[in-house]
Amino acid sequence: MNPLTVLKIGGNVIDNPAALTRFLTTFSTLTGDKLLVHGGGKIATQIAEKLGVQTTMVDGRRITDKPMLDVVTMVYGGLVNKQIVGQLQTLGTNAIGLTGADAGVVKANKRPVKDIDYGFVGDITEVDSGRLLSFANESLVPVMAPLTVDASSGTLLNTNADTLAQAIAVDLVHKRDVTLVYCFEKKGVLANPDDDNSVINQLTPEVYAEHKAAGSINKGMIPKLDNAFAALNAGVARVIICHADELAAALAGTAGTSIVMNNE
């Protein structure tokens, strides 16, 4: 099967114009079919403050009430998405900006209320990978904002970008040889969160469990890694976590953290 790379860019890179430009410059040089999923960074919080919309976070996750849904739709699906698409066009990459609502490519259900009411947050139910591949067949590079759509109501839903990238990658495994890459401002998964040079070159489930129990892997890295291992279990060929500036080296196997099911 032909290879395809699904990349997710997030963290502080989205908030740093110079860092984002460096990443997009490298991304534009990657050969083969590719798809980019982006987060929203802190821009939504900044815009919300200007509009008088309160931001509430629980364990690093945004509570998305109706006013905040309007903000993230504007920022993720509009401002951030189109800025990325515009930059890629100048770099010679014919990008097309999408949300889950566009062509119905990603559908979701509103997350049910359990201990916490997250509001208009989506849990993904369906990815139309055939439609996404149709863009690739037209030499278009999809750039996905972290918004999905409720198929029954048409309501947009704020969706975790790491999970969105994983769901897209998994749905493509029967059609392509998929590599999933998570890029952010760290050099990979760190054995010591305070030492950016303590990169774990290969992370197995056993090593992951040890670091999680010790507390050296914690907070937002846990759901990212849970998504990474779930992707491997579902048939994704490679999963890499790396610094946005080291994307090319990570794909070559000389930087970042490779997520593997056993020592290779």
Nearest to 17 by CA among 71, 77, 73, 84: 84
Q: Which two tokens stand for residue 263?
A: 């020592």
62 is in an annotated binding site: yes
Convert 221-256 to b/e letters by CB count within 10 Å (16 or more is b): bebbbebbbbbbeeebbbbbbbbbbbbeebbeeebb
60 is in an annotated binding site: no
**What is the Cα gyration radius of the chain?**
17
41 is in an annotated binding site: yes
- Cα separation, 253 vs 147, in Å, equals 31
104 is in an annotated binding site: no
Q: Are 39 and 146 in contact (CB under 8 A)?
A: yes
Annotated binding site: 40-41, 62, 158
Annotated binding site for substrate: 40-41, 62, 158
